[in-house]
Amino acid sequence: MRRQTIWRLAGVAAVLGGLIDLLGPLAYPHLTDPARLSTYVLIDLLLLFGMLGVQSVAGRVMGWPGLVGFVIAVGGVLLVRTSAAGIWGAASYTVASAVWSIGMVVVGTTLLARKGPFRAASALWIAAFVIGLAGLALKDQGLAHRLAGWCFALGFIAAGVILARTASRAEA
């Protein structure tokens, strides 16, 4: 399979994962637990494919700091999916999602510092982390939590669009 095809598929996965993550809360009240949990797994899988695409396109630009961020982010995805086991008690999901977000902040910061692609996505991932921290500091799990989640999902949608454009440019 050609690189451009992989980038395009990763881009589609990132956009779909981000869109489902954004629109999911409208559907979740109408879903039973197996369907809702399957949707969460699907979102994380699609976003993981998007992360792999970002790493594939920008890995050389990011160097080892970006690789460290990518590894932290992948670890965060795995922790999110296993958070139901309650490794860290009631805060397991919060800790796991924070690890994922920290990884994306490292990736985003590296991309911004090295003037790599995915600048809009990077800014959104960093904004998600900052808003999430502000929400924790203000003990606001409502609006701040939703805004952080929206920024995170929009970051993946932006990354997906860039992945698809990169694939198209490479083919031209």
Cα 46 from chain centroid (whole Å): 9
CB-based burial, 88-112: b 16+ in 10 Å, e otherwise: eeeebeeebbbbbbbbbbbbbbbbe
Q: By the 8 A CB rule, do 129 and 142 touch? A: no
**Closest C-alpha among 157, 163, 161 to residue 56:** 163
pTM: 0.93
Window from 77-86, 99-108, 151-160 with minimum mean pLDDT: 77-86
The pLDDT tens digits for 37-83 are: 899 999 999 999 999 999 999 999 999 999 999 999 999 999 999 98
Query: What is the DSSP secondary-structure string of 26-58?
Result: HHGGGS-HHHHHHHHHHHHHHHHHHHHHHHHHH
Write the CB contacts of 136 (distance below 8 Å, at least 6 apart in sequence): none
